[in-house]
């Protein structure tokens, strides 16, 4: 059986409505364990719902969420053997420990906490493949969220609620009795169903979290359409060390871009990213990465080579990556054929370009247990 995923312990993931779940793959909130508007973070993270979910994972029962069934286990933030032993002692279930033999990885690196926050689920684009902004027959996220959140409508998180979440999670990590001292660092991802730069307070929100002594690094995805010079200049004043920013590009021509990323302006997006990279050159942040991302889809696969040729000119080796990504269908990634065929047809692997990053096919597959 696969190793124990650490996310139900180390990956609080919170929607703009305040619903707390344990994995960024759980867009439809099948693993929701509480609502931050009704209880404190500590009450939720130690509550009966999450204890039940953790025990199910420990017993190898992944039936709660199809994504868990087809996930091979996230490859970040595991519980260490020491932490798991301590956790089970605290909840009075040391009896389970012997049955976990071989399923808790031996780890040398610290396994930090990853807080994922959705600042807004509104967007300035309607991308062809986006589960949030196009109704997906396999996985209707909005219908799923309406079942969990009373009076659900799209919108943004209030900055006061955001600050309370960051304060409570940072405080919880510092005082948590089962996290080892080396794990007690806060990584953050600002994720999910919208364009973060559409939130008028987004840069201040980043800054607020980055000011916490426990903050360690972060990650965002953006379509870059709203990243005008003013916004980029403000970003450059933040602590972007140990930070990754993914630019969703997905095309090498205006025509294709405007079919895939409907509502976006290709020339504006390109200009914004080039300015961003130029400013980042001046700053030289440590551990800073950008992912210039291209999701291979039936509408754009023919432009992969042009995309690489164009962005290779601007990308700096060791910092910027041209990331070719697989399209998913909401729950799993059953259709890798187009991805693999495209890599083969354009002989991408043979390019041996160190800036190109490929996604491992079958990251999510049917019945991974």
Instruction: For ligand SAM, give the closer residue by CB, 169 or 260.
Output: 260
Q: Return the H-helix or E-strand segment holding 93.
A: none
Given the complex with ligand SAM, which of 83 and 219 has the nearer CB atom?
219
| In the complex, least distance from residue 126 CB atom to ligand SF4, rounded to whole angstroms | 5
Q: Are 270 and 313 in contact (CB under 8 A)?
A: no
Cα–Cα distances in Å, from 354 out to 35, 132, 246, 271, 273?
Answer: 43, 33, 17, 24, 20
Q: How far apart are CA 323 and CA 308, in angstroms?
A: 9
By CB under 6 A, residue 311 contacts ligand SAM:
no
Residues 280, 365: Cα–Cα separation, whole Å: 37
CB of 130 to ligand SAM, least distance (A): 4
**Is residue 128 part of the contact set for ligand SAM (CB under 6 A)?**
no
**Residue-level length of the chain:** 369
Nearer to ligand SAM, 169 or 249 (CB): 249
Does 130 sit near ligand SAM (CB under 6 A)? Answer: yes
From ligand SAM, ligand SF4, none, which one binds at residue 126 (CB under 5 to 8 Å depending on kind)? ligand SF4
Contact pattern for ligand SAM over residues 225 through 264, marking x by CB under 6 A: ---------------------x-x----------------
Helices 159-175 & 202-210, crossing angle to 10 degrees?
Answer: 20
The minimum distance between CB 30 and ligand SF4, in angstroms, equals 20
Site residues (vs ligand SF4, CB under 6 A):
123, 125-127, 130, 132-133, 193-195, 223, 261
Residue 143 and residue 206: Cα distance in Å, rounded?
A: 29
Nearer to ligand SF4, 33 or 220 (CB): 220
Is residue 351 within 8 Å of 324, Cβ to Cβ?
A: no
**304 SS3 class:** helix
* Cβ-based neighbours of 142, under 8 Å, separated by 6 or more: 132, 135, 152, 154
Residue nearest to ligand SAM (CB): 248
Q: With binding defined as CB under 6 A, does residue 221 bind ligand SAM?
A: yes
Site string (266-305) toward ligand SAM, x via CB under 6 A: ---------------------------x-x----------
CB 263, CB 163: distance < 8 Å: no
The answer to whether 45 and 39 are in contact (CB under 8 A) is: no
Q: Taking CB within 5 to 8 Å according to partner kind, which of ligand SAM, ligand SF4, none is near residue 133?
A: ligand SF4
Q: Rule CB under 6 A: say whether 339 interacts with ligand SAM.
A: no
Spatial contact of 36 and 58, defined as CB atoms under 8 Å apart: no
Q: Among 118, 131, 168, 331, which residue interacts with ligand SAM (rule: CB under 6 A)?
A: 131
Among 78, 87, 129, 311, binds ligand SAM (CB under 6 A): 129
118: closest CA among 202, 238, 234, 228?
202
Q: Residue numbers of the site for ligand SAM (CB under 6 A)?
A: 123, 129-132, 193, 195, 221-223, 246, 248, 293, 295, 327-328
């Amino acid at each position: 059986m696969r190793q124990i995923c650490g996310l139900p312990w180390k990956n609080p993931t919170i929607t703009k409505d305040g619903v707390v779940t344990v994995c960024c793959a759980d867009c439809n909130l099948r693993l929701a364990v509480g609502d931050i508007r009704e209880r404190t973070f500590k009450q939720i993270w130690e509550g009966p719902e999450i204890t039940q979910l953790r025990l199910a994972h420990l017993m190898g029962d992944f039936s709660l969420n199809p994504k868990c069934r087809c996930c091979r286990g996230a490859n970040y933030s595991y519980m260490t053997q020491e932490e798991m032993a301590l956790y089970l002692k605290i909840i009075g279930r040391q009896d389970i420990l012997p049955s976990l033999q071989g399923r808790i990885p031996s780890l040398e690196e610290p396994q930090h906490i990853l807080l994922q926050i959705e600042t807004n689920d509104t967007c300035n684009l309607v991308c062809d493949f986006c589960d949030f902004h196009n109704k997906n027959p396999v996985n209707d996220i909005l219908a799923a969220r309406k079942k969990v959140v009373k009076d659900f409508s799209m919108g943004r998180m209030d900055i006061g609620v955001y600050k309370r979440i960051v304060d409570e999670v940072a405080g919880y990590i510092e005082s948590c009795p089962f996290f080892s001292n080396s794990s007690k660092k806060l990584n953050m991802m600002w994720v999910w169903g919208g364009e973060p730069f559409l939130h008028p307070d987004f840069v201040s929100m980043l800054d607020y979290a980055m000011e916490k002594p426990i903050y360690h690094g972060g990650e965002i995805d953006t379509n870059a359409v709203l990243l005008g010079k003013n916004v980029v200049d403000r970003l450059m004043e933040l602590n972007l060390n140990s930070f990754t920013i993914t630019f969703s590009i997905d095309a090498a021509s205006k025509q294709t871009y405007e079919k895939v990323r409907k509502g976006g302006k290709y020339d504006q997006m390109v200009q914004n990213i080039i300015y961003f990279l130029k400013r980042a050159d001046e700053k030289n942040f440590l551990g800073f990465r950008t992912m210039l991302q291209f999701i291979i889809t039936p509408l754009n696969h023919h432009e992969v080579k042009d995309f690489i040729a164009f962005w290779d000119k601007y990308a700096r080796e060791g910092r910027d990556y041209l990331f070719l990504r697989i399209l998913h269908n909401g729950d799993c990634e059953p259709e890798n054929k187009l991805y693999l065929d495209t890599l083969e047809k354009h002989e991408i692997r043979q390019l041996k370009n160190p800036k190109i990053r490929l996604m491992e096919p079958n990251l999510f597959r049917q019945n991974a247990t």
